[in-house]
Amino acid sequence: MTRAYEQDGADWALQMKNLLLEIKEEVDKAKESCYTELDVSRREDFSKRYGEVLQEGLKSYPAEELEKARSPGRKKQSKDKNLLDRLSNHKEETLRFMVDFKVPFDNNLAERDLRMVKVKQKVSGCFRSEEGSRYFCRIRGFISTVKKQGKNVLEYLRKTFEPSNANSSLLQEG
């Protein structure tokens, strides 16, 4: 959304960003108070405001651009219009973090977990074997889990390969 506002001048994107950050702040406060979801009236209010920002955003695009989008075949749209369409089509998924507090506000952890696999593919071109890719993913999964638990990765890797732990390796498939 920052890109849409700063580079494309989409004012609706700044409004949407501010609204989502406001919802996140309220969700964080509710989590601190041991709630598992936002109050129904607050969710309805936020959902209504979300819809209003989308409507304002649609008004900022010329009618002929909207008509082209309805004609057969896929027409090229601006990146900010594509973002607006995605936010509109996936409203429920976008706002799920306020209904279910187990859902994170962003997907940064998932992106970080996948990034190393993509880097490995780019550097090597591919994995040499399916077995090698399984080993790589298993080791990366182990490291990611240890990091998410706030533990020392090197210490746990060392423990995994100590002779006393050879038969009960944390990396063994089970």
Assess whether 41 and 122 both reside in one domain.
Answer: no
Residue 82: partners with Cβ closer than 8 Å, 6 or more residues away: none
Which of 99, 122, 153 marks a domain boundary?
Answer: 99
Assess whether 7 and 91 both reside in one domain.
Answer: yes
The answer to the question of residue 113 being in a domain is: yes
Assess whether 162 and 86 both reside in one domain.
Answer: no
Question: Could you tell me the pLDDT band of residue 174, with boundaries at 50, 70 and 90?
Answer: very low
Assess whether 54 and 77 both reside in one domain.
Answer: yes
The answer to the question of residue 173 being in a domain is: no
Residue with tokens 């607006």: 84
**pLDDT at res. 165:** 57
Assess whether 73 and 92 both reside in one domain.
Answer: yes
Residue 128 above 50 pLDDT? yes
**pLDDT at res. 171:** 52
Assess whether 81 and 113 both reside in one domain.
Answer: no
Q: What is the pLDDT of residues 132-166, one digit of tens each?
A: 878 888 888 888 888 888 899 999 888 888 877 55
Mean pLDDT of 24-39: 92
Residue 167 above 90 pLDDT? no
Report phi then psi at 124, rounded to 5: -90, -20
Which of 78, 99, 120 marks a domain boundary?
Answer: 99
**pLDDT at res. 48:** 96
Which of 59, 78, 99 marks a domain boundary?
Answer: 99
**pLDDT at res. 115:** 74
The answer to the question of residue 69 being in a domain is: yes
Give the range of the structural domain holding residue 157, as residue numbers without chain letter.
108-168
Q: What is the mean pLDDT of the chain?
A: 82
Assess whether 85 and 135 both reside in one domain.
Answer: no
The answer to the question of residue 174 being in a domain is: no
**pLDDT at res. 102:** 85
Residue 54 token pair? 């989308």
The answer to the question of residue 136 being in a domain is: yes
Assess whether 94 and 113 both reside in one domain.
Answer: no
Residue 64 above 70 pLDDT? no
**pLDDT at res. 71:** 58
Please give the Cα distance from 116 to 127 (Å, whole number): 13
Assess whether 91 and 8 both reside in one domain.
Answer: yes
Please give the Cα distance from 147 to 124 (Å, whole number): 25
Q: Considering only CA atoms, give the Rg of the chain.
A: 23
- 3-state class of 160 per DSSP? helix
Assess whether 68 and 30 both reside in one domain.
Answer: yes
5 versus 85: which is more confidently predicted?
A: 85
Assess whether 81 and 25 both reside in one domain.
Answer: yes
Mean pLDDT of 104-132: 74
Total domains, the chain: 2
Going from the C-alpha of 32 to that of each of 18, 24, 36, 38, 96, the distances in angstroms are 21, 12, 10, 12, 18
The answer to the question of residue 86 being in a domain is: yes
**pLDDT at res. 68:** 52
**pLDDT at res. 94:** 92
